[in-house]
Structures are given as C-alpha cells and as structure tokens.
Amino acid sequence: MSEKTTTVRLLLGDIRVPVGTQIREIIDIAGSRMRRAGISSASLRFRLYKRSIDARHKDDIKLVCSVIVESDTDVLGKLSPRILTALKAKTMTEAALTVEHGTTPSRYRPLIVGMGPAGLFCALLLAEQGYRPILIDRGDCVQDRARCVDHFCRTGALDTDSNIQFGAGGAGTFSDGKLLTRIGDARGAYVLRRLHEFGAPEDILYKAKPHVGTDVLRDVVDSMLQRISVLGGDVYYRTKMTDVTEQSDGSLRVQTNRGEFLCETLVLAIGHSARDTYQLLIQKGFMIQPKPMSIGVRIEHLQSDIDRALYGDYAGDPTLGPAEYALSDTRTDRGVYTFCMCPGGTVVAAASEQGGVVVNGMSHHARDGVNANCAVAVSVRPEDYESVDGNAALGAIAYQRAIERAAFTVGGGDYSAPIQTVGDFLSGVVQHEPSRILPTYRDGVHVRVADLSRVLPSYVTEGLRYGLRVFDGRIRGFACEDAVLSGAETRTSAPVRILRDEQCRAFGHHGIYPAGEGAGYAGGITSAAVDGIRIAQSIMAEYAPLE
C-alpha cells in the first residue's frame, strides 16, 4: 500500500522587486532565497501568491510579492524557526471548503431568489452537491439585461425589473468587478478560484486588488448559470417574487408573477435595491432594522492625472496598470470616504425606480477609458431617518428614495444626472460647464449643470466639501476645479438588515435564509458570494441531497 503524501506549504513574503519584473523572475528570486538557506529547489514547486504595489515613494515604486512554496516531501515541515525567520517565511494552510450533508429528507428543491453573487454561489454549491436548486430573478439574462441598460442609457426609457440593479449577476455585473474584501473568511479564496474556473483572468488569484471588469464578468456569470442548469438546476428570468406563505407542514408557498413554487428552503438573495421585497417582508412581520449607510456623489478625473499623481514618472507602465486609490477620513463626527473606484471607467445610470436618478461606476477589464471615477460618500446613521408609519426600516428606504427623486428633479426630470464642477461645488456657486474633464454619465449627453446642495442633505454636502479638501492633500489635484461631480450615489449598501440566527435563518422563519448584500450581511462581490456559500452550507448541514 502506498503511503499518502502530505503537501507542506511555505509562504515567502516581502519579495520587493522593480516595476516591470515578470512573474518568472519573481519565482526565480524565491528559488534563490531557498537555495541560500541550504534547501534545494529541485523538489519544490513555486507559485505567485500576492503582488501589490508600494507607491509611497514615487521615484522608486516597487512591486511587493509573496510566493507559495510546496513540496510533497517533509523537507519544508522540518525547517527550524531560525531558518523560517531568515527566509521571511511562514507555514501556510489553505483550507478546503467543507461540506456536510444532513439527514433530513428534502421534500422540495431549494428556491433561491436573486442571481447576484450570493444567489449564484449558493445555487452553484447546492447544484454541485445534488440539491437541484431553482434560481429566479426579476431581471433578464446577461445579454438581454445589457440591451435593457443600453436602451435606458440612450433613450431614458427605464425597465424597472431589468436594469443595472436587477438581473443575472446582480448589481456587480455592471461595475468594475472588484474582488477585494477585508472580511478575512477562508471562503474568499474559494470564490476567486471558482471565478477563475468560470473565465475570470488568472491574475485575480494573486493581485492584491483583483478585479474582473464588467465585460469579462458577464461571461463568467453566464458560464456559472449554464453550469447550474447542466447539474439539474432550473433558472428562471423575469420571475419576480410577490408573496410568500408559510404552510402548517413547514413548507413555503412562494408566489411570483409567473406562477407558484413550493419549497422548504427559500434563500432571499434579493440585492440592496429590492425595496418592494423589503416592504413585503416588513408587512409579513420579519425582523428588519435600519442600518448605517453612506450617501454622496461620483467624482471624475482624467485617468492620466491620477496616474501621474500616484505613480509620477512611472505613470503608464503596463506592469502597474491604471492607478487606483482608496481614501477615508474619520476625524469629524461623520466619516467621509471614497468607494468603488473605477480606473478608466464610466459613470453609469443605475436607477431602478421611476422618477429617481442614481449614479454608479463601471469599468471594463482593460480599464482603458479616459476618465477615472469613484464615489465620495458621507456616513449616514439610522437616527438620520424618519420612521414611515412607525417603521424605522421603511424610513431608511424613504431616505434613499427622497434623495434620488431630488436628483431626478434637479436633473430636469428626464433621468439626466445633475452635475457640478468641484470648483463650483466648493464655492457654493453654479457657474461653469465641464471643459477639460467631460462627464461620462449616459455618454455625457444627458447631464445638467446644477447645484448638488439641492439634492443632498446639508450635512452630506458639508461632509463632501471637507472630504474633497482633505483628499486633495493626499492626492494632488483630487479637488481640482474642473473635476466633475454627479449625483446621487445612494446605493453604496443596503439601507436595512434582515435579522437572522446562527444558522443564517430569518428569526422566526425556519426555512427562510436572508443572504448577501441585500440582507445586510455583505459589502461587495466577494463578501456576498461568501455569504451565499455560507447559506448553502447551512442548508446542506440540515437536509440530505435530493434522490
């Protein structure tokens, strides 16, 4: 009988190399480090683990890399602490995704509402484990959804069910596709591996700030949905949940605009813009509470200006790519920060309700657009909301909606976005049209120069003015007079949280699992996907696969 081999891994960190160094050269440096410690590299395998950019000194920018070293022998496991210190290395384990099947027979197939990252990854894992989930979304498939978005951009005719917020892939499909997360969950690495398996570029596995890009992400989403179908799952578009009734036998009767579904596990991966679904759940007595969020605007600069400000003479180097940033300041009673920075991207029309203007950002994988954009947002607290009919959660939704309607009115009532140059915004005047930096919202045609203080609460306006000045001290030219602001950025996160127990079930509702960003438990593509996986694991721990 052959002896089972155990792979031992080391993580070699702090490999600092010049800009332009290729992956093969980085691997060679790791091999040399091992040989200097007296360890032959002949029996070792190397792969790049992370690569980040240290641009603190613009005259000497470095790539900071780490490399995983693997061996099927015990040579790495026998290294002394002294040698590990000399190698700048530590032992590493990459946890595998654990799946446990319960013994309760499954009477019905799981029903998942929403095809964003949480719903997709939940359905994928369930399908691969033999549970044959049913996946529904109020919006369209990726291709038809893209046509709806393009039609809205050109004509202003909004489809309230299929748009940038709703449809296959969720809101993240029309974004930069950023995958950076700070939740520290081992499932995050699993998410990256699966995205790569379905067509995302390999560099998401090692870049410190991985991104996919909306053009590539659409194909990834389509491939995942095809896989779910091949494994026995069913995918229904233009299928909107309108009601759910809990039956005396523990089953759930879910009404949709296209008929009825019976299930015993219902995953609500509804996304942060499903306001009508929030209202339904509130009426049904679900425990839903308002949560903090952020409100603000999109700012646009020339990407070349940002590159020079952050990279100096290295600007334009293909190894570095377009420069990106993340800024924050919490010295006042309300924090202000940048969010969802889109290098070489565009500002997109992200409305999902009639009579409201919402802006967001989007980049293709190449990030080769002229402008850079990001949200600049100010923290908003639950005490800022006024209850509606005595309900604080409804008040949070009304707060968002009121700002979006103000943006619609100030923008002229035709889904044009109100815009203002940074110079005018800081001075409190409306005098200048965009010139050197041109807005990209709806191709720059459907915009209207306006006073953004008429759109936003005064404390948000003042917080933005403070933040712009502070951030200008960190990135030269951030608050240049001809940078362009557009509003309103209101969908940074869900305004409410659907409370759930340790098994991820909604309190008091045994078979219903709120999931992802729309439930208030995630903040981006990766963290939402992780939450969907967590939900699938919880369902499988109780129920056996379908026969």
* Mean pLDDT, range 413-437, rounded to an integer: 97
Alpha-carbon span 537 to 525, nearest angstrom: 19
* Mean pLDDT, range 52-80, rounded to an integer: 90
**Model-level pTM?**
0.94
Q: Which of 392, 391, 366, 348 is nearest to 491 (CA)?
A: 348
Domains of the chain, with CATH numbers? 8-92 (3.30.70.2700), 111-288+499-542 (3.50.50.60), 293-489 (no CATH)
Give the model confidence (pLDDT) of 493-502 as tens digits: 999 999 999 9
Give the model confidence (pLDDT) of 327-337 as tens digits: 999 999 999 99
* pLDDT of residue 2 exceeding 70: no
Helices (H) and strands (E) in the chain, counts: 12, 23
Q: Strand pairing partners for 49? A: none
pLDDT at 4: 42
* pLDDT of residue 534 exceeding 80: yes
pLDDT at 73: 80
* pLDDT of residue 269 exceeding 70: yes
Other C-beta atoms within 10 Å of 382: how many? 17
The confidence band for 72, taking pLDDT boundaries of 50, 70 and 90, is confident
Alpha-carbon span 136 to 115, nearest angstrom: 7
* Mean pLDDT, range 532-540, rounded to an integer: 97
Q: Strand pairing partners for 241? A: 256
* pLDDT of residue 386 exceeding 90: yes
* pLDDT of residue 413 exceeding 80: yes
- Across all residues in the chain, what is the average pLDDT? 94
The confidence band for 442, taking pLDDT boundaries of 50, 70 and 90, is very high
The confidence band for 5, taking pLDDT boundaries of 50, 70 and 90, is very low
pLDDT at 3: 39
* Mean pLDDT, range 216-243, rounded to an integer: 97
Alpha-carbon span 279 to 160, nearest angstrom: 16
| CA 495 distance to own-chain centroid | 16
The fraction of the chain above a pLDDT of 70, given in percent, is 99
* Mean pLDDT, range 39-59, rounded to an integer: 91
* pLDDT of residue 372 exceeding 90: yes
- Residue 290 three-state SS: strand
pLDDT at 6: 55
Give the model confidence (pLDDT) of 179-198 as tens digits: 988 777 889 999 999 999 99
* pLDDT of residue 207 exceeding 50: yes
Which of 92-96, 121-125, 371-375, 511-515 has the least mean pLDDT? 92-96
Q: Which of 220, 224, 234 is nearest to 131 (CA)?
A: 234
pLDDT at 231: 97
pLDDT at 7: 67
